[in-house]
Structure 1
C-alpha cells in the first residue's frame, strides 16, 4: 500500500511525517550548482545549516503551534494582513520561478538518457517542460487523492533510491579511484560563494511540513523535523561532495551533470545499460517533488483571497475541489518564463537566472517570517523568548547576507558588468515587492 494511503487512514507518525518533509525539500537538482564550491563545500554547508536550515526548522515548529494557516497565518500574527499577503505572494512567485529549473532538470535527465547531445537541444528541452507542467496541472485538477498517490510513488522510487545510489557511487569512487595523499575535492571556483545561493535554495521549504502538524501524533512534529533536518543536510552535503569529486568544475552542467555521473559510474563497472533505468528513476522522483510543490503555495494564497486581497473567483474550485483558476494561471506563467531557455544563449545561464531569482524571492519571504517571529516574542519574558529570538535573528542574518550574495553573478555567466547585474536584480526585487503592496483588502460581503 502506498505511503500516503496509509497516512490518510491514521495519525501521522514521526517517520511518516519525516518522509513527507524530506521528499518535499530534498532534491538532487541543486547538487551541480552547489558542487561549484569545491573544497569550500563543508564551510558553506555549515554556514547554511547554522544560519538558515536550523533557524527555519525551529521557527516552523514554534509557529505550527500558533497557527494552522502556514506562512500566511504566521506572518499575519506578527505583522498583519498586508504583510501576510506579501509573504504568500513571494512564496507563489518563487514557485513559478523555480518550476522551469526543476522541469528543465527532469527534461535534461530524460534527454541525456537517450543521447547526451540532446541536452543542448533548447527546443526539445522547452517542449518537455511545457508537457510536464501542464500534465502535472491536469493531475492536480483531478483532485488531491490522485495527486497524493502519484506523489507517493514518485518520492519513494525516484528520490530516496537514487540518492542512495549517488552516495554509493561516491564511496566506490573513493575506494577505487582516489589515491592516498591526493586531494579529493578540486579548488573552489572563483566567486564560489555564489554557490551559497544554490545551497540555501536546497534547504528551502521545510516550513511546508507544518501544514501536517495537526494531523500528526502528539509530539511527532518536532521529532520529525529534527530527523528531516539531519537527513536533508547530510544527503545534500555528501551528494555535492560526490559530484565535485568526480566531475571537474568546468564540466559541471546544471541540468545534465547528475545523469552524466550515473552514466560514468555504470560504464566504469561495465553495466552502462543500468544508467538508463536509474536516470529514469531520478526523473520520476523530481516529477514527484514538482507535484508536491505545485499546489502548496496556492493553498496559502487562498487564505489571502478569502480576506479580500484578490478576487474570490480566482479560488473557485472544480468538482474535484481543486482551485482550477489558480492552477491554470500558474501553469501559464511557468510556460512563459520557461521561454527564457529559448532566448538566453546558454542553458546554464538561463537555469542560473531563474534559480537565483527564485532564491531571492524566497529569501524575502523568510525575512518576513523571521521578523514576524521576533515581533511576536519580543514582549515575552527574556527567558521564554530566547529559544525563538536567537534562531530568528540567526535566520534573519543568514537570509539577508545570502540575498546580498545573490546579487553577484557567478563567473560562468560571463556578465560584462556586475554592477548592472546587481542593479537589475535589485530592481526586480523592488517590483516584486511593490506589486502586492499596491493591493488592499476589499470589504467582503
Structure 2
C-alpha cells in the first residue's frame, strides 16, 4: 500500500491515470512472500488481479462518481445499508492501516539493520526482536510527528520517499535480477511451463497466496479522479487495464528476481529482499551500493507510513464530525490534522508492536499481523462490493459519471467477482501457512479470530452508544445521506436522479 498526492484540477490522460494507480499500489515489501512459489507466483498475481484488482477499480469508480460527497467508503456503504455498517467499513480502513504499520515498519527496521558493513552481523541484528521493536516504534512516531505538521509536510516526504524508496529500488531489483539470470547463472527456482500452474493438491500453497490481495489494495483511493478523465466510460477501463497489467508485471518480475537469487528454503519474509540486493550487488561488483539501497528502502517505508498515518485518520475525522464519534475524537491541531485520532492510533501501534516480543520469532509476528491486515481490509471490501450491487437497485437513477457497462448484469458480474474473490481470500487468511513457522497453529488462528471479532465489534458498540451532542452543529460540509433527505429507510428504492446536495434545496 502507498499514498498519492492529490491531483490538481484538470484533465487526466489515460496513461497518466494508469501510472497514478500503479504508483498507488506497488510496494516491494511483500515480494519475498510470493517468491516462495517460484514461477507459480505468476498464476496467483494474475488470478488476484482478475478477481480483485480490476473489480475494485471499476466498482470504486462507479461509487466515487455517483456519491462524491465527503466520506468515501463511509458514504458508499451508508447509502446502501445505513450508518451502522458504514461505520464498520470506515473503521476497518482505519484499523487495518493501524495493524499494517508494524509489518511495514518491520521491513524498515530490517533495511536499517542491513546498512552495516558486516553481512553476518546485519542479518543477526535484523533477527533481534528488541532491535526490531525499537526501530518500529522510532520510525512510526517520527512519521506521526511529520504527519501532525500538515499536508504540505507529509506530502513532500511521501512524494520523494516514494520515488527514492520504491520506484528506483524496484527498477534496480528487476534489471539486476534478470541480468543475473541472462548472464548464465543458475536460477534458484525450477523453470518450465509446467511450473506455472500451482500444486493445488497442497492446500498450504493457497494460504500464503491470499496475502496477494493486500498487494493490490488501495486502487479505490484514485477512483475519484475518473471525473477528470475525458470520455470516462471508454477511457477509464483502458487506464485500469494498463494499470493492472503494469502492476502485475512489476510484481511478477520483482518476485522472480528474488526467486532467481535466493533458494526457496532460505527465503525470509523480512530479510530476503535485502539479501537479494546484497547478493546481486556483490555479483555485479558494486557491493558498496548495498547499504545505500537499504537506506533507500528504509526511506520508502517512512514515506509510505507518513502518508497512511494522515490519510485514513483524516477520513475517520470526517465521519467523526458527522456525529458518529465523540467530540474528543473530532479535535484538530493548528494544522488541521486529526491529532487525537492519530495519537490514539499511535498507542494502538505501540501495543500491537509488542507482539514482536511475545511471538516466537519476528517472522511469525510479521505473518500474523500481515494476515490480520488482509482480513480487516477485506471486511471493508466485502461491504463495498455488496453496497455497489445494492445501490443499482435502491438508487437506480442516481447519476454516475462512470457506470460499469452491461446493466445490472454487468454489476453483478464485476461486483460479484470481487465479492467472491474477497470472501475466498478472507477465509483462507485464517489458515496457518505451512511454509512459515508461526509457533502454535492453534494460537495463530486464535489470535486472528479474537482480534477480528474485537475490531469488528468496536464500531458496532460505538454506534450503539452514540449521542446527539456528538454532532457538531458548526459542521455544515457533511452532507446527509440521500435516504435521510427523502425521509426513508436505507435500501428503499429511490427514484430520484438528483445528486444528494440538490435534494434539500
Kept after mapping to 2: 8 A contact 1:109/1:258: no
Show the 5 A alignment for 1:366-445: 366-378=381-393, 380=396, 383-414=406-437, 418=441, 421-440=444-463, 441-443=466-468, 444=471
2:61 paired residue number: 61
8 Å contact kept, 2:368–2:438? no
Summarize the alignment of residues 271-310 of structure 1 with structure 2, pairs less than 5 Å apart. 271-310=286-325
**Which residue of 2 is the match for residue 112 of structure 1?**
114
Aligned in 2, Cα 1:133/1:200: closer, same or farther, shift over 3 Å?
Answer: same
Aligned to 1:71: 73
Match of 2:183 among 169, 173, 176: 176
Q: Distance in 2 between matches of 1:96 and 1:5?
A: 21
- d(CA) in 2 for partners of 1:208, 1:52: 15
Q: Paired residue for 2:281, among 266, 283, 302?
A: 266
Following TM superposition, by how much is the alpha carbon of 1:283 offset from its aligned partner in structure 2, in angstroms? 2.0
Q: Distance in 1 between matches of 2:427 and 2:7?
A: 41
Structure with greater Cα Rg: 2
TM-score by length of 2: 0.80
Distance 1:6 1:393, change over 3 A: closer
1:27/1:159 contact within 8 Å kept? yes
| Residues 57-95 of structure 1, C-alpha deviations (whole Å, 9 max, x = no match) | 111111110123321111112111111110011111100
Q: How big is each residue's C-alpha offset from its partner over 1:117-176, in whole Å with a ceiling of 9 and x where there is no partner?
A: 211122221111111111111111111011111111111122111111111122112212
What is the CA deviation profile of residues 212-260 of structure 1, one whole-angstrom value per residue up to 9, with x for unaligned ones? 5567777486655444322222211221122223211221111111111
Deviation (angstroms), 1:432 = 2.0
Asked if 1:149 is matched to 2:156, the reply is: yes
1:113: Cα distance to partner?
A: 2.3
Alignment counterpart, residue 127 of structure 1, candidates 124, 131, 134: 134
Q: Is the 8 A contact 2:61 2:224 kept in 1?
A: no
- Bigger mean CA deviation after superposition, 45-54 or 422-431: 422-431
Q: Which runs of 5+ in 2 are unaligned?
A: 117-121, 398-404, 474-505
Give 1:211 shift: 4.8
How many residues matched? 441
CA distance in 1, matches of 2:34, 2:331: 40
- Partner Cα separation in structure 1 for residue 151 and residue 170 of structure 2: 27
* TM-aligned CA deviation for residue 418 of structure 1: 4.5
Q: 1:334 aligns with which of 343, 349, 355?
A: 349
- The 8 Å contact of residues 211 and 429 in structure 2, kept in 1 or not, is answered as no
Instruction: Say if 1:36 and 1:195, in contact at 8 Å, map to a contact too.
Output: no
| Contact 1:37/1:195 (8 A) holds in 2 | no
Q: TM-score, length-normalised on structure 1?
A: 0.91
Structure 1 partner of 2:40: 40
Distance verdict in 2 for CA 1:340–1:215, change over 3 Å: farther
Check 1:431–1:333 CA distance in 2 against 1; reply closer, same or farther (3 A cut).
Answer: closer
Structure 1 position 55, deviation (Å): 0.8
2:47 & 2:226 partners in 1: Cα distance?
Answer: 28
Give ranges in structure 1 of 5+ residues lacking alignment.
none
In structure 1, distance between residues paired with 2:156 and 2:439: 48
Deviation at 1:437, TM superposition (A): 1.4
SS at match of 2:323: coil
Name the residue aligned to 1:325.
340
The 2-side partners of 1:5 and 1:391 are apart by 28
- Correspondence for 2:98: 96
Between 301-310 and 210-219, the greater mean CA deviation after superposition: 210-219
Cα distance in 1 for residues equivalent to 2:215 and 2:22: 11
Could you tell me how far apart the structure 1 residues matched to 2:378 and 2:349 are?
A: 20
Q: Offset of 1:431 from its aligned partner? A: 2.5
* Cα distance between partner residues in 2 of 1:398 and 1:329: 33
Matched residues in 2 for 1:151 and 1:209: separation? 16
> Contact conserved, 1:91 with 1:297, CA < 8 A, in 2?
yes
Give the whole-Å Cα distance in 2 for the aligned partners of 1:179 and 1:400. 39
> Are 1:315 and 2:330 matched, yes or no?
yes
Between 1:344-353 and 1:304-313, the stretch displaced more is: 304-313
User: Retained in 1: the 8 A contact 2:112–2:295?
Assistant: yes
Preserved contact between residue 90 and residue 364 of structure 1 (Cα < 8 Å): yes
Distance 1:79 1:108 in 2: 43
Look up the match of 2:261: 246
**Which of the two has greater helix per residue?**
1
> Is 1:52 aligned to residue 38 of structure 2?
no
By how many angstroms is 1:33 displaced?
1.1
CA RMSD of superposed structures (Å): 2.7
Match of 2:115, SS state, is: helix
